[in-house]
Structure formats: structure tokens, C-alpha cells
Structure 1
Amino acid sequence: MTNRGIHLDAKSFNEITDRDDTVIIDMRNHYESEVGHFDKAITPDVETFKESLPIIDDMLQEHKDKNIVMYCTGGIRCEKASAYYKHRGFEKVYQLDGGIIEYARQAEALGLTNKFKGKNFVFDERMGERISEDIISKCHQCEAPSDDHTNCTNEACHILFIQCGICEDQYEGCCSQKCREFKRLPQEQQEKIKPTMTFNGNLSGKGRYKAKRKDEKLKE
């Protein structure tokens, strides 16, 4: 599929997304959009890109006559997604050229209105780069405003979740009391009982990261 969507720079993206006949789709996973997304964007509850394609297809059926504007982190997923939706019969398909990363650069350089709120999740040790000062998500433990992703420091769990500084101290970087107490055990004892243990990370996850599911509560 080589028939892809029309590429938009930051200025064109702002203009078309101001229109009433435009639908904005976030092509990223739920844990990415949880900490940051564009105004009025549809943010599907999906864990993998492959999973998202048919789900978003169903969501867009009632909008086939509108401008479908999609975005992702750096533009790569949209190259594939826009071709997929063109093949599925959507005619007015657009994609943000260079994704959120390039949009943020252009918006700052050109003095454009920044329509992205929060953090852009990135797949490296930073786990996020701030695009605006808005904090749109909550700590998964105490629900205080927070948009800092981390992996549970119990390596047997390693679930990806959002944790504020206070809970980081209280739980020693773990996602639960159970993980904190397990991590405190001598290594030999950990190895002995690990096969009998179930942690949040064991209950989670498709995709690259074992992320906490969107509507799931962390188990203590």
C-alpha cells in the first residue's frame, strides 16, 4: 500500500484541525496518549499499533466524509496507518509530517500556537519530553497530578506506570507494597519464591512495554 495520506506541517495541521469537518486520531498506544495528546483528539484504548488499526477503522466509519488527521510520535506509524485507511476507502486522509517531535520544533521556531497538551512519550530512558506545562494525567497510586512514567523497580514485575515523587519514595520505586516487600528480600530468597508470585507486570501487557492497562487498578 503506497497511497498514503497528505503530509501536514505544523501550520497546516493547526489550520485543518480548527475546522469542524476534521477528526483527529492519535495513532499511539494508550499509555502514550495518557500523558499527552492534541486538543480534541480521539485517543483509542489500545496496547499495540497492530491492534489499533481495525478498532480505529470502526470508530471512523461515521466520519468517512470528514478530514481524517492522524499523528504519532515521529510519523512512522502514520505512514503505515494512512495507507491502510486509504485502502479501506477513506478519501480525506492526512498525517502530521514528522509527528509530535517535528510539530513541537516547528511550533516553537515559528511562534505557532501549540495545540499539544502534556508530554510526548518517548521510547528511551527519558520516557517523555515535555511539550507543554499541562499535566493531564494522574499518579496511578495516589491519583495526584503526575505524568512521570517509570518501570517498577522490582525486576520480576517491571510494569510501566505513572508515579509521583511522593509515591516513588513511599514505594521505593515499586508499583505496590507487594513488589516493595519482595524487592527487599535477599536475592536467594527472591529466586526461591518468585515462581509462586504474581505481580502487576505478570498480569499486564501486550506490546513492547508491560504497561498498566488504561482502566486497571494497580494491585497492592
Structure 2
Amino acid sequence: MLSHPLFEGILMRDDFKTSTGGAHCFPDLRIGVFEEIVPLGISPKRVSYKETGIHLTPKEFHIEVETYLSQGKKAQKDTVLLDCRNFYESKIGRFQGCLAPDIRKFSYFPSYVDENLELFRGKRVLMYCTGGIRCERGSAYLKSKGICKGVYHLKGGIHKYLEEFPDGFYEGKLFVFDERYTISSDGDVISACRYCGSLWDQYRLCSTQPCRQLVLTCPQCQRKGLTACCPVCQKKGPLPASHPSRQAFKEQCECTATRQRVPVERV
């Protein structure tokens, strides 16, 4: 049994999730000890998972979302349904009526909260993420601000919710961080090709290595050579490994520099 304190509350759970796949989906799988599984950018000593929001089972969360949606604008005055994932995740799948931050990394989430405190002041916040891990830290951070009426999050995340409610209030695909990219529950497509606007939700990596941004480009546009995440990458084309901007380009390109980090609109 591992006794390192970093494993406390993580390995001791029985919250396992299964889905169709195989070894080929995890070509870079490795085991290590990390201070944060998904980096929030804030020391766990400052914001601990032990101060997390109240867990809601998939059924409890389903009832909360059902009530929230049935009350329309009236509910928005009292409750916020918050997606704490990245923009490329919520773009292809999300809960109806959610507030989806336009952030590219979870470490931007604290900035999003800090710059939008009035959105949450005096309200009940219902949070969710893929498997519940990010909500452990994200809800703790939001709760630490002391401005919410209550902070709750979906135990087990979207993954567990879809096991119980495949035809519930989640629409579209569930993004996963492996070679599959998505898990489908109902086959719905809610996103579009970046170039032609036709319905499409199958991600691929930007063709300009090592950009690593994900792009939604349909087969027709791919055949036209439209395979990059933005015009800058499309014009640059593949960069050689020795190119001096190789590492910088990984984090910065047109779609990163022009992207708003902290929008306020619901989707």
C-alpha cells in the first residue's frame, strides 16, 4: 500500500471509471508522483482538496440541473452551472445552460474566478468536469473566496453521470485525454468544422508541429489541406525540430494570443 501523503484521497477511492479502449489509446502511459494530477498552479498547501465543495452523486446532480433548467432566468439569479474544463472540451460537449470558461489550461481557472467574482457572489455553484479530479481543487479554490452561497460538484464527473444518465442533460461528446479524444454517449454533434462550419466534433492535432493545439477540421476541408488550428500555423507549415521557436510556438500561436480567457456568457 502506498503511503505517500500525495496519494491521500486519490488512491484510497473506489471511484474507478471504465470505457471501451485499449493499450493503443495510451502510447505515452507512464507512472510517476506529482504534486498535482491536474495542475491548478496553486500549491495544495494553500488550497487543499480537503476544503472541496460538497459532492453530489450523478442522481443528485441530475435533479439539480433539471430544477435549474426548468426555472430559466429565475434560476440564473441564484445558481451557476459551471464547467471547469478547457474550451476545447466544452466546445464538443457540455451540460445544457452551463457557463463554460474560454480557458486553454486548468491553471488559468484561478484567474477566471478572480476576474469574475461577481458572477458567483451570493450564488449556489454547481460544478462539473470530466472525472471529478479538477473539481476537487477548482471547487476548493472557489470556496476559499468566501463569496458563494454554496459550492457543489459532480462526484465522478461527466463520466459517471453518463453511466447513469446517457440521455440526460449532457449534450455532445465527452473529451478524454488519450488517443480516442472523445467518448460518445448519444451520438449528438454540437460543434462545427473550424473552416466550413459543417457539424463536426472529431479532433486532430494541428498539422504544424509542434503546435499541439487541437483543431476541428472535417474530411472535406482536410482534403483541401486545411489542417492547422489557425491561419498563422497554416501559413508556417511544419517546423523542423531544430527551429529556435519550437518550444515557444507550442504555447503561443494566433488562436492562443487572440483568445479571451475570461468570458462571461453562458452557452
TM-score by length of 2: 0.64
Structure 1 position 54, deviation (Å) = 2.9
CA shift digits 1:97-132 (9 cap, x unpaired): 111111101214xxxx51111111111001111233
* 2:177 corresponds to 1:129: no
Q: Which residue of 2 is the match for residue 94 of structure 1?
A: 152
Over 3 Å counting, the alpha-carbon distance change for 1:155 and 1:82 in structure 2 is same
1:27, 1:72 within 8 Å by CA — same for their partners in 2? yes
Task: Choose which of 74, 89, 106 in structure 2 pairs with 1:32.
Answer: 89
Structure 1 position 91, deviation (Å) = 4.1
Over 3 Å counting, the alpha-carbon distance change for 1:6 and 1:169 in structure 2 is same
Q: Which residue of 2 is the match for residue 146 of structure 1?
A: 200
Task: Choose which of 251, 254, 257 in structure 2 pairs with 1:205.
Answer: 251
User: Identical aligned pairs, as a percentage?
Assistant: 33
Paired with 1:181 and 1:61, the residues of 2 have a C-alpha distance of 41
* 2:216 corresponds to 1:162: yes
Where does 1:53-202 land on structure 2 (aligned, <5 Å)?
53-89=110-146, 90-108=148-166, 113-171=167-225, 173-174=227-228, 182=237, 191=240, 195=243, 202=249
Paired with 1:121 and 1:133, the residues of 2 have a C-alpha distance of 13
Find the residue that maps to 2:81 and give its secondary structure. Answer: strand
Q: Which residue of 2 is the match for residue 13 of structure 1?
A: 61
Paired with 2:257 and 2:195, the residues of 1 have a C-alpha distance of 13
C-alpha RMSD of matched pairs (Å):
3.2
1:70, 1:94 within 8 Å by CA — same for their partners in 2? yes
Over 3 Å counting, the alpha-carbon distance change for 1:156 and 1:64 in structure 2 is closer
Paired with 2:237 and 2:258, the residues of 1 have a C-alpha distance of 25
Can you give the 5+ residue segments of structure 1 that lack an aligned partner in the other structure? 184-189
Q: Which residue of 1 is the match for residue 36 of structure 2?
A: none
Residue 85 of structure 1 aligns to which amino acid in structure 2? L
Find the residue that maps to 2:215 and give its secondary structure. Answer: strand
Can you give the 5+ residue segments of structure 2 that lack an aligned partner in the other structure? 1-47, 69-74, 260-267
Structure 1 position 61, deviation (Å) = 2.3
Find the residue that maps to 1:68 and give its secondary structure. Answer: strand
CA shift digits 1:58-108 (9 cap, x unpaired): 434243222101011110000001111221103411000111111101214
1:116, 1:132 within 8 Å by CA — same for their partners in 2? no
Over 3 Å counting, the alpha-carbon distance change for 1:63 and 1:152 in structure 2 is closer
TM-score by length of 1: 0.76
* 2:88 corresponds to 1:42: no
Paired with 1:50 and 1:197, the residues of 2 have a C-alpha distance of 23
Find the residue that maps to 1:34 and give its secondary structure. Answer: helix
Find the residue that maps to 1:171 and give its secondary structure. Answer: coil
Paired with 1:37 and 1:101, the residues of 2 have a C-alpha distance of 12
Structure 1 position 149, deviation (Å) = 0.9
